[in-house]
Amino acid sequence: MNTSYHYIEWAKQALQTEADAISEIISQINQTFIQATNTILTCTGRVIVMGMGKSGHIGRKIAATFASTGTPAFFVHPAEAAHGDLGMIVDGDVVLALSNSGESDEILAIMPALKRRQITLICITSKPNSSMAKHADIHIQAAVSHEACPLGLAPTSSTTAVLALGDALAIVLLKARQFTTDDFALSHPAGSLGRRLLLTVGDVMHSGDDLPAVVEYTPLKNAVITMSEKGLGMLAVVDCSGSLQGILTDGDLRRLFQTRDYFADLTVNDVMKTNPTTITPEKLASEAVKLMQQKRISGLLVCKNNILIGALNMHDLLKARVM
């Protein structure tokens, strides 16, 4: 029998059931959530997240979200903890243990060892009278009426609800810590945000032999050859000490060619623009993008104390994935 026409209906039912579960969790947020938040905020150690089975998978994600948003955290498998990994937990840590039933044998087995340490135990379960809830210093209830699984067996709505609760806790902590995008970038240096926020002008600029520059009063013909060889669409003009005097762009050349037929008598000083827009090497590459957009230019010269040390254009920033 072909039942494919039911697929969309079944999918919507499952999603609605899980959405309803999150709504149920919202109504259960109370003073214990505040206690848990304050405990983690004042924690002098790390947050250790634990869970078995599907709760363990959710716990790993919660720990990862904490760690990336300013709350030092990692996941410890309860069964492995009983065989030596408890040594990862030290005085001053907070343990966040997850279990829908609150009767996880693996977590209960290490409770005595946890209670001997100077740690705070936060448990998230669906049952306030469960064994884990009774052992907890702080218990957060996360109970849902129905699993999305029609058999009522596979953890679905319950795990989604706890995942959302973990995200909510991470976001509250983030806001309480006044965690910024710059802080986020420090823990995500390989991501696009990290590149945009951590790369400096000095990281992406052309320098040394690649620098498009000539000394002042260079014949225009020679200057054009140098500009062409460097391929940045611009040319810096410096004095004998390297101090920036002006800039010549390919746009300037096009306009010059439209108004003149004879160029042999010209030097670069005759056609350059003085006081060009510059940037310093320690500025963020993202600031260079913003400056070029504001000035409606496609390249920047990089100076330190007015001494030319580099150059970059939009193509360099595109290659570095800053834009």
The answer to whether 173 and 37 are in contact (CB under 8 A) is yes
Could you tell me the pTM of the whole model? 0.66
> In this predicted model, what pLDDT tens digit does every residue of 108-118 receive, in sequence order?
999 999 989 99
The mean pLDDT of 257-280, rounded to a whole number, is: 89
CA–CA gap between residue 122 and residue 139 (Å, rounded) = 6
Q: Which residues pair with 235 in a beta bridge?
A: 248
- The pLDDT-based confidence of 64 (bands split at 50, 70, 90) is very high
CA–CA gap between residue 245 and residue 303 (Å, rounded) = 11
Smallest CA-to-CA distance from 159 within 246, 253, 60 is with 60
6 contact partners, CB below 8 Å, separation of at least 6:
none
- The pLDDT-based confidence of 90 (bands split at 50, 70, 90) is very high
Q: Which residues pair with 95 in a beta bridge?
A: 48, 121
Distances from the Cα of 156 to the Cα of 52, 159, 264, angstroms = 15, 5, 79
60 contact partners, CB below 8 Å, separation of at least 6:
49, 75
The residue that leads in pLDDT, 321 or 8, is 8
The answer to whether 172 and 41 are in contact (CB under 8 A) is no
pLDDT for 186 beyond 80? no
Q: Which two tokens stand for residue 21?
A: 């579960």
